[in-house]
Amino acid sequence: MSPPPCGNPAACPNPFGAPAGPGFGRALPADGTVLEPPPPFAPLVLEDRPAFKALEASRPLEGSDASFTNLFIWRNYYRFVWSAEVPGALCVMANPEGSPPFCLPPLGAWEDLSAWDFMASRMKAMGLEPLFSRVPERAAEFLKAARPAWVVEADRDNDDYIYDASKLRTLSGRSMHQKKNHYNHFVQNYRAEFLPITRDLFQELKRVEDKWLTLKTEREGEGAATHLAMEREAIHAILENFEILGQKGLAVTIDGRIEAFTVGEMLSPDTLLVHVEKGNPEIRGIYVALCSHFARQIFPEAAFVNREQDLGLTGLRRSKESLKPHHFVRKFQIRPR
């Protein structure tokens, strides 16, 4: 999960037309005060991880958005709050900066209509039109049948790209020929080391990431500054809580300098979820080498790799499509009526 590509929050549409005022989901006061969430919802904190992971273990997630790590590292942008009011389900609401408030699909017992109704009623009570976002296809089809009056819309920009891990490891086959050429160029022209990420690398990784994002901000201008600042904060959060969040990572060094790194975890028993992937764009083949070695060295047990969504960004979509996804986790928006 990452913030939507809206560099100017004032220009982001708000179809709810909610007036400014107290309450979750309303516009923030001019002084920037963060408003209290409505009961029984509470802000997401690191100590909530056991509750989320227990539910993930019993009901593995299909999509990337509701993984606890994603929720935690993006919590300051999306301002997540959650409730366990409905037995067997965790209900998560988001109030993203500059974008409409929404609910994620219930975690756990998503077939329990009372969880969906509970969240929809909470939004209505706050004067907001209910909206569920990042809803995987299976849950969307369930709601189509159970709540035929609810409006279900495809959300292509948030579809997760899922790859065959064995193809990423070997880069074999005609479809991967170009990527294999990039990989061969990299290993033939650079004396690279692939190092599992350990705590002694954290400060250098943060320094490298800060440098890259500063250069990117200078290239893309002020419009991208907010998005990139939140991305920096998310990456720092995952590194600072690396062990407790259950992360593993791989860094690529060339001549002793870190030139790329990636971080992820197993989303389900067979699927690796990649949270972070950063590299020096001037080095040909470094990204494909990083991706391939991550699946080889760090997560040999993974059958699939979830590389999250493209957010509708042309360059990112082209890059993700070029790795030839095996399939997608299709996502939908749902508007209760």
- The pLDDT of residue 222: 64
- The pLDDT of residue 98: 82
Say how far residue 325 (Cα) sits from the centre of its chain. Answer: 17
Write the pLDDT tens digit of every residue in 281-334: 899 999 999 999 999 999 999 999 999 999 999 999 999 999 999 999 999 999
Select from 166, 135, 199, 182 the least CA-distant residue to 272: 166
2-6, 204-208, 216-220: least confident range: 2-6
- Locate the DSSP E strands across the chain: 42-43, 81-83, 89-94, 102-103, 107-108, 132-136, 151-154, 160-164, 192-196, 248-254, 257-268, 271-279, 304-306, 327-329, 331-335
Write the pLDDT tens digit of every residue in 41-87: 999 999 999 999 999 888 889 999 999 999 999 999 999 999 999 99
Write the pLDDT tens digit of every residue in 146-199: 999 999 999 999 999 999 999 999 999 999 999 999 999 999 999 999 999 999
- The pLDDT of residue 4: 60
Contacts of 47 (CB under 8 A, 6+ apart): none
Rounded distance between C-alpha atoms, residue 13 and residue 11, angstroms: 6
Domains in the chain, CATH or no CATH each: 9-158 (3.40.630.30), 160-308 (3.40.630.30)
Which residue has better confidence, 127 or 180? Answer: 180
Say how far residue 32 (Cα) sits from the centre of its chain. Answer: 25
DSSP letters of 85-130? Answer: -STTEEEEEE--TTS--EEPPPEE-TT-HHHHHHHHHHHHHTT---
132 pLDDT more than 90:
yes
99 pLDDT more than 90:
no
Which residue has better confidence, 211 or 277? Answer: 277
**CB atoms < 10 A from the CB of 198, how many?**
10
**Does residue 206 contact residue 242 with C-beta atoms inside 8 Å?**
no
User: Whole-model pTM above 0.75?
Assistant: yes
Select from 121, 116, 129, 64 the least CA-distant residue to 90: 116
22 pLDDT more than 50:
no
Write the pLDDT tens digit of every residue in 222-278: 666 777 888 899 999 999 999 999 999 999 999 999 999 999 999 999 999 999 999
Where on the phi/psi map is residue 335: left (φ > 0), alpha (ψ -120 to 50), or beta?
beta
The verdict on whether omega for the bond into residue 96 sits within 30 degrees of 0, i.e. cis, is no
